[in-house]
């Protein structure tokens, strides 16, 4: 069975990858430049669609905040941090799934960066939920944290 330490390291790597993707998408959004968009994708069409913002905030920025929150929780000991991390990742997973659905069936274009972020967020949701489920209740505050 994979140890909690390994799961935590995997989560840190995933959160850093997510930060990189969301950071790049935020950068191209505010710089007004066209993202590098391979694999036959159409990033501009996705990024200029009405689903590229939530309540006026670019979803790339929301992703950046989400990954940052998850990363912070991975360095904070205690049950509350585990809950916060899993909650953020699950919200991210749900909203990513919705945006991917919009890409496929409404916008009719795929942004590989967005799909990559959705995959990373899905893996983070799995890993953070697994950590929350496996951490013994009485020992949650005493899990060794290696920075």
Partner 1 sequence: MSAESQPTRKQRREAARAERVAAERAQAAAAQRRRRLMTVGGVLAAAAIVVVVAIVVSSGGGGSSASDRPAVAQKSSGAIPGQKEASEMLARIPQKGIYLGNPNAPVRVVEFADLQCPICREYSLQSLPQLIQDYVRTGKVRMEFRNLSFLGDDSVKAGQAASAAAQQNKLWNFADVLYYNQGEENSGYVTPQFIDRINKAAGVDPAEADAFAKTAAAQEPLGAANTLANQYGVNATPTILVGKRNGTLKAVNADATDANAYKSAIDAVLGQA
Catalog residues that contact partner 1 under the rule CB under 8 A: 30-34, 44-45, 48-56, 79, 83, 86-87, 90-91, 93-95, 98, 106-108, 129, 132-133, 136-138
Among candidates 113, 112, 131, which has minimal Cα distance to 10? Answer: 131
Tokens representing 36 are: 């590098």
Smallest distance, partner 1 to C-beta of residue 91, A: 5
Residue 102 or 147: the one with the smaller Cβ distance to partner 1 is 102
**% helix, strand, coil for the chain, step of 5:** 75, 5, 25
Smallest distance, partner 1 to C-beta of residue 132, A: 6
| Total residue length of the chain | 147
The 8-class DSSP code of residue 40 comes to: T
Residue 32 or 147: the one with the smaller Cβ distance to partner 1 is 32
Smallest distance, partner 1 to C-beta of residue 147, A: 25
Residue 56 or 147: the one with the smaller Cβ distance to partner 1 is 56
Smallest distance, partner 1 to C-beta of residue 90, A: 4
Smallest distance, partner 1 to C-beta of residue 146, A: 23
52 in Cβ contact with 22 (< 8 Å): no
Residues near 53 by beta carbon (within 8 Å), at least 6 away in sequence: 59
H or E element that contains 58: strand 57-58
Residue 19 or 43: the one with the smaller Cβ distance to partner 1 is 43
H or E element that contains 146: none
Residue 1 or 33: the one with the smaller Cβ distance to partner 1 is 33
């Amino acid at each position: 069975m994979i140890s909690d330490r390994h799961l935590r390291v995997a989560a840190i790597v995933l959160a850093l990858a997510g930060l990189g993707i969301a950071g790049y998408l935020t950068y191209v959004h505010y710089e007004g430049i066209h993202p590098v968009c391979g694999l036959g994708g159409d990033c501009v069409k996705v990024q200029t669609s009405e689903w590229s913002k939530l309540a006026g905030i670019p979803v790339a920025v929301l992703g950046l905040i989400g990954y940052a929150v998850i990363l912070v929780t991975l360095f904070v000991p205690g049950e509350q941090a585990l809950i916060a991390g899993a909650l953020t990742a699950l919200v991210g997973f749900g909203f990513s799934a919705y945006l991917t659905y919009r890409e496929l069936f409404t916008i009719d274009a795929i942004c590989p960066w967005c799909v990559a972020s959705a995959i990373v967020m899905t893996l983070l949701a799995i890993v953070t939920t697994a950590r929350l489920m496996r951490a013994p209740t009485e020992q949650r505050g005493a899990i060794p944290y290696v920075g």
